[in-house]
Structures are given as C-alpha cells and as structure tokens.
C-alpha cells in the first residue's frame, strides 16, 4: 500500500494568520483511496527550507503532496524548491503560458509579466492545467515516488485533487480498496474512563480505534481498510457494537450528529420545549441550540453570577415566563485553581441541581459547561428517574 505525506507551504500558516484546511481535505481524500498518511509538515515561503522538507519526505514516502507557493510573486517559491530538491532546473512551458493567458482573457483581463513565472515547472515534470485558476500544478516523478504540487487556494486545490490527482494516483500506484472511518461521540465520561474500557480495541490493526478528547466530549474513531465499502462497513460495525455495549449511555451519536441535536430530540420525544438561563459564560449554548430545528424557545442571560439556589430560582422564573416545559440553568464560578459549574434543571416532573468541578484551562470552561448541560438534557429521563449518573 502506498504511503504519503503532506507539505503545506506558506509563511502565513506558520504565523497563524491562515488556518490550514488543505491538509485536512487532502488527508481525507487519500484515506478514501487507501493511501496511508504518515506525516504533515508546514513550511514558510523559503526555497531552501521547502527543498529540504521535500528531500526528507522523498526518503520515507511514496507520495509527497505540496500545497501553496505556486502564485506569480517572488514569495511563491515552490516551483524552484521542487526543482532544487530533485537536482533539476525549471523550464518554461509555452502551452501553460497560453492556458494562463486564455484564462485571463475569459475575464477580460491581461496577465502581468510576473504571471509568466507560473508557466515554469521543474524539468521533466508532468504539467497539470488549472481550469479554475491561474496557477498550473505539476507532478515530478522520482523513481517510484511522486511529488505533486498543487495551488494553495482551497477551491483550486480541491478541484485538481479530485479530477487530476486521484485518477493519477489510482493508475500509478494501482490503488485498490478504500479506507473508511466512523466517529462515535461520547459525553459524560473522561478520556481516561473511556480508554480504561476499550483499551484492548485500541490495539487492533484493522480496524484501528483511536480517541480524541474535547471539552466535555470524547470521540472514538474506528477506521477500516477494505476492498469494498460493504466490507469496510461490516468491519466497522463489529467494533462499533462492542464499543457501544461497553460504553452504554455515554455514546450519544456518530459522525455528523451533534450533542445539541440529540438533546433536543430527547425533549421532542416527550413533547417538551426548552428555555435556558446562562451566566458567566459565552453565548455558545444559545448559538448551538438556535442552529438546530427543535423545541428551543429562548434564553435569558444573567448579568450577575448567582449562587446555586439563585440559579434554580431564576431558571424557574424564566421557564414560566417563556412558556417552556423545561428550564436549564448554567453558571460558572471561577476559582484560583478550578472552575465550579452549577446546573439547574426544572421540569414538569421535578427539579434537580448539579455541581460539576472543572480543573482544565479556564478558556475551555464554558465549552465544557455547555456540553455538560446538553448531556443533562440528553439523559433527562435518567436524571429524573435515578438522579446523578
């Protein structure tokens, strides 16, 4: 099986001025055609350092995909860097220059002289016309290895990746099968608790199982390599069933399902509506609930931080004013070493109060509190029937 690494090029990426979305897109695309991703590197707009990164990649990977640095300006050095990495010069391709000029003509514009730089590629490279932009891409073959240089503009990169690069890779490396992944979402348990219950599954070679911790949520990724999608689905399903059996109500959904969607579905099943009261936190909870179709009636933001009893009273009052069936109150009490999260739940079947200490980074306390509140709504029947779980 072929393996690959990705090199994203741009000083703005290193400075944090630009979020690198290209690497994620490429990684998912390669995963889907059964190519293993071993590394991802980001390099600034420096010819020598880009060339060094490519040379190092050639020592360990079959496929090297670069993005960025193919523009017309001096600080777009990818063409020269790739040529330098393989010990070649760049050469002018008249057909590429004609393609660039033709694209400008379609917009009733004339290319400037520096656009001509984009018609240069490393000697012997396979040029890739770019019908959705002005920067041609190219492929340099070094033995059985391939260096594929794509534009940094996401729309252009995605088009060329799908329409040119994937067919090339399938043919050159005789790629068969695919890699498919499924993400299970959990709430109410920490990463160490999850790991303690499924650590043996994390040692599997195919499918593989991995954990990713977020504030108030842990994701479990199950990835299978197979000859067909049907086979991959069967392999994933077997492991998923085991995970769900072991983790029980901690698993709330999969893939694109969100905690807020599942929480509101739990209320819809009971015919209940929701109103929330928040204090000392961002508007993330309101934003997330507002973006989901469901029985969410509104929110009240308290200007002062209430104690637990005041929060419960405020939640009762707002629930009554809004006409909601359920009221959820959340507040954060900041301490020197930890944050204290207090939650109030007011329902037609009784009220509950909860205290959740949080010792993580303060800037993530609000996200952690929101996920705990949504998880409380998701399992509202359990809490009303059995109390804290």
> What are the structural domain ranges in the chain?
3-172, 180-254, 259-386
d(CA 306, CA 286): 19
Specify the pLDDT at position 261: 95
Specify the pLDDT at position 354: 93
d(CA 207, CA 182): 10
Average pLDDT score over residue span 197-219: 93
Task: Reduce the DSSP state of residue 362 to 3 states and report it.
Answer: helix
Same fold, 3-172 and 180-254: no
The single-letter DSSP state of residue 78 is H
Of the candidate CATH numbers 3.40.190.10, 3.30.70.2860, 3.40.605.10, 2.60.40.3080, the domain formed by 180-254 belongs to 3.30.70.2860
Give the model's confidence band at 389: pLDDT under 50 very low, under 70 low, under 90 confident, else very high: very low
Fold of domain 3-172: Molybdenum Cofactor Biosythetic Enzyme; Chain A (3.40.980)
What's the whole-model pTM score? Answer: 0.72
Specify the pLDDT at position 383: 79
Burial category of 107 from C-beta neighbours within 10 Å (exposed 0-12, middle 13-18, buried 19 and up): exposed
Residue 67 has pLDDT above 80, yes or no: yes
For the domain spanning 259-386, the CATH number is 3.90.950.20
Average pLDDT score over residue span 130-146: 93
Q: Are strands 90-92 and 137-142 parallel, antiparallel or unpaired?
A: unpaired
Q: What are phi and psi of 71, to 5 degrees?
A: -75, -175
């Amino acid at each position: 099986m072929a393996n690959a690494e990705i090199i994203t090029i741009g000083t703005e990426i290193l400075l944090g001025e630009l979020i690198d979305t290209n690497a994620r897109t490429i990684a998912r695309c390669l995963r889907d055609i059964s190519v293993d991703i071993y590394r991802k590197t980001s390099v600034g707009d420096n010819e020598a350092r880009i060339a060094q990164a490519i040379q190092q990649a050639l020592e360990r990977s079959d496929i090297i995909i670069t993005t960025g640095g193919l523009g017309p300006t001096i600080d777009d050095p990818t063409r020269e860097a790739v040529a330098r990495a393989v010990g070649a010069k760049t050469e002018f391709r008249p057909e590429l220059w004609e393609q660039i000029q033709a694209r400008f003509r379609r917009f009733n514009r004339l290319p400037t002289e520096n656009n001509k730089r984009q018609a240069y590629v490393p000697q012997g490279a396979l040029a890739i016309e770019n019908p959705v932009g002005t920067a041609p891409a190219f492929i340099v073959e070094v033995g059985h290895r391939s260096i594929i240089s794509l534009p940094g503009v996401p729309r252009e990169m995605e088009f060329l990746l799908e329409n040119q690069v994937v067919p090339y890779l399938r043919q050159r490396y005789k790629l068969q099968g695919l890699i498919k992944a499924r993400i299970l979402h959990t709430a109410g348990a920490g990463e160490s608790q999850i790991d303690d219950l499924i650590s043996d599954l994390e040692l599997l070679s195919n499918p593989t199982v991995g954990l990713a911790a977020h504030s108030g949520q842990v994701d479990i990724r199950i990835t299978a390599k197979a000859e067909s999608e049907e086979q991959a689905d069967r392999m994933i399903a077997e492991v998923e069933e085991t995970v769900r059996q072991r983790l029980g109500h901690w698993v709330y959904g999969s893939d694109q399902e969100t905690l807020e969607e599942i929480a509101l579905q739990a209320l819809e099943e009971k015919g209940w509506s929701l109103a929330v009261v928040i204090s000392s936190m961002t508007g993330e909870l309101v934003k997330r609930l507002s973006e989901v179709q469901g029985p969410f009636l509104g929110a009240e933001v308290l200007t002062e931080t209430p104690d637990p009893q005041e929060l419960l009273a405020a939640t009762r009052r707002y629930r009554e004013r809004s006409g909601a069936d359920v009221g959820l109150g959340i507040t954060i009490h900041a301490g020197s070493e930890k944050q204290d999260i207090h939650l109030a739940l007011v329902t037609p079947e009784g009220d509950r109060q909860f205290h959740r200490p949080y010792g993580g980074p303060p800037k993530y306390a609000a996200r952690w509190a929101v996920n705990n509140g949504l998880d409380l709504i998701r399992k509202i029947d359990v809490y009303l029937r059995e109390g804290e779980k």
